Chains A and B, each alone.
Chain A
Amino acid sequence: MIWVETLINGALLGGLYGLLGIGLALVFGVMRVVNIAHGEFMVLSAFCAVLLANLFPSVPPLLMLVPVIALSFVVGWLYQALIVNRVVTSPDPLSPLLLTFGVSVILRNVMVEMFGADVRSLQVGELSRASLEIGGLNIGIMPLLTLVLAALLFMALQLILRRTEFGRIVRATADRRDIVRLSGVKPDRVYNYVMGLSLALGAIGGVLLAVRSSFTPFSGAERLLIAFEVVVLGGLGSFWGALLGGIALGMAQLIGLKIDPNAGLLYAHLLFFIMLLIRPSGLVSSRA
């Protein structure tokens, strides 16, 4: 029974991991850039939420998601407009990688200097401990809500990309950056919105993860690796694959922690590495 519970909790955690990965997958899918600073931006949004929660103690901490998401969108827009757009068309595929890695190092150390290296978390009071009992299984409300939210966001994103004018423009830009200009689309501007959206999604994941487990300015690397593993496991460019990948990683992590309490992310990393060996194309065959 305890193993079933572990598996279910792993799946719920996986919803959160899916959220971490989706922002990264979106940017990669549209502009072929792996944003290495994604993890640091997630940690930054968690710091913002903690700061806001301390400033306004009477407001429920989870409501802080709203301003943090808005802020993240603006930050993402500016980040793309001022920095990433300058290398996005570079003939050298390594340029965006190196540039975003540089940004991640800057952000990490600015956070260390500004907030200190202490361990923090976002306190949401009773909600974090509340749980449901279904057939003898203890299931946390917060993780359950997170998974539901993740599924809803995945669906919303899918709808936006498939059904709306904006989604059509984004898909067209992803396919042929040079040709969309003929229809009056400015690819750089599309990229700005996509990066804004990506960091906004990252902020949701970052803040919810800060509720679940503590973080430091150094947590960005860990979050990036999880996000990246989710994307690769899920198959590049597949949103539902990302959710599946997240669930697989969440289960691997929690089963690992059951066997070995201080394993951390070791088993999630191992699962990723083994999957890479036996199925490099991901769980779901990709469709860009």
Chain B
Amino acid sequence: MPTRTILAFSGLVLAAVVAGAPFVLNEGVLRLATECLLVLTMAQMWNLLAGYAGLVSLGHQVFIAFGAYALFLTSGWLEVTPIWVLPVAPLVAAIVAAIIAFPLFRLRDAYFSIAMWVFAEIVGAFTMKSQAVGGTSGMPLATSKLIDFDWFEPTMFWLAGALALGTIAALYRLMTSSFGLGLMSVRDNDLAAMSLGVDVRHNRFVAFVLSAAGCGLAGALSFMGNLFIAPLAAFDVNWSVYMMFIVIIGGIGTLEGPILGVIIFFGLRELMTGPLGLSGGWYLVGLGLIAVIVMMVAPRGIWPALRDRIGVRLLDVQRAAPRSSPATVASTVSERSAV
């Protein structure tokens, strides 16, 4: 298929750009780019849950924190460079998600959202009490002396770039698979999906665990870049605020939306806190206003509205309804169910 080729080609170009960027950009820009890519990954993960599985989490910061703390602790115990223990972060976040999914999945809609938030608060409170992880004052990365600081910023950027590109590619793959189709059918009409034999609970569970794992890895990278972790930063509800605003402004339930959202998010931040000299509080007010206005004017976000107007489709995972005779429809359906 030609679109596949175009996508694969642009993926290669982007990978080359990520590989070469550290040799061109200065350190400040590189740090900002790293942050953008990590937040983009988190937003994509939040979108997987909210936009495709219909579960809005206001406590996703708990997975960021679990991933980051897991990295800091294991790296300290094993006394190896933090990069080698990175796989621990998504693993721990995924295990936690798999466990709490059982009580939380009894709840729907807003109840799920706020119960997630309460869960994050509980874990945050216990973390602040636990002296083993540094209590309220947090802890530095114990193995930071093992890091080669000449290459630290570029490595962080490469990891963040690989993670962001990998996430988008994986999500694209996932959403065009039968699993993604099932997920979207549940979001659009769970009753109809169930009557066709889609396992709603299982789909949601997989989306939840994947989303947690991705956020855990992105969170671990984010705090590894700071070389320090403290509970107030790790369990900050603003993580969820950022993910949510990015997804809502850009376009919920699309893969391009969060990319657009991240551009607006960081563009606005650099503009308001830089040249305009406003504080972080006013920046959040501005971002909130944009999000609220977008929700009232274009509830699906900016990207879907833009896409319909200019007719450009980038990473579209939507499937057009077959417009052929009933016989072909039946055969496509049987083909799909065979996949």
Q: Are B125 and A266 in contact (CB under 8 A)?
A: yes
A127 within 8 A of B: no
Which of A10-18, A43-51, A93-101, A194-202 lies at the binding interface? A93-101
Q: Are B285 and A106 in contact (CB under 8 A)?
A: yes
How far does the alpha carbon of A112 sit from the alpha carbon of B111 in the complex, in Å?
28
Chain B positions within 8 Å of A103 at CB level: 288, 292
Q: Are B291 and A102 in contact (CB under 8 A)?
A: yes
B145 within 8 A of A: no
Q: Are B296 and A101 in contact (CB under 8 A)?
A: no
B22 within 8 A of A: no
A232 and B288 contact, Cβ closer than 8 Å, known pairs A94-B56, A95-B295: no
Q: Mark A102-136, 1 if CB is under 8 A from B, else 0.
A: 11011011101100000000000000000000000
Closest-by-CB residue of A relative to B296 is: A86
Q: Are B296 and A87 in contact (CB under 8 A)?
A: yes
A74 within 8 A of B: no
13 residue pairs from A and B, CB less than 8 Å apart: A86-B296, A94-B109, A98-B248, A98-B291, A102-B248, A103-B288, A105-B287, A106-B289, A225-B114, A225-B117, A266-B122, A266-B126, A276-B115
Chain B interface secondary structure, helix, strand, loop or mixed?
helix
Q: Are B292 and A97 in contact (CB under 8 A)?
A: no
Q: Are B56 and A98 in contact (CB under 8 A)?
A: yes
A265 and B241 contact, Cβ closer than 8 Å, known pairs A109-B281, A112-B281, A276-B107: no
Chain A interface secondary structure, helix, strand, loop or mixed?
helix
Smallest CB separation, B283 vs chain A (Å): 8
B7 within 8 A of A: no
Closest-by-CB residue of A relative to B291 is: A102
Closest-by-CB residue of A relative to B119 is: A273
Chain A positions within 8 Å of B118 at CB level: 225, 228-229, 269, 272-273
Q: A102-B288, A110-B285, A113-B279 given. 9 additional CB < 8 A pairs?
A: A36-B110, A92-B299, A101-B58, A106-B288, A109-B282, A109-B284, A113-B281, A229-B118, A273-B118
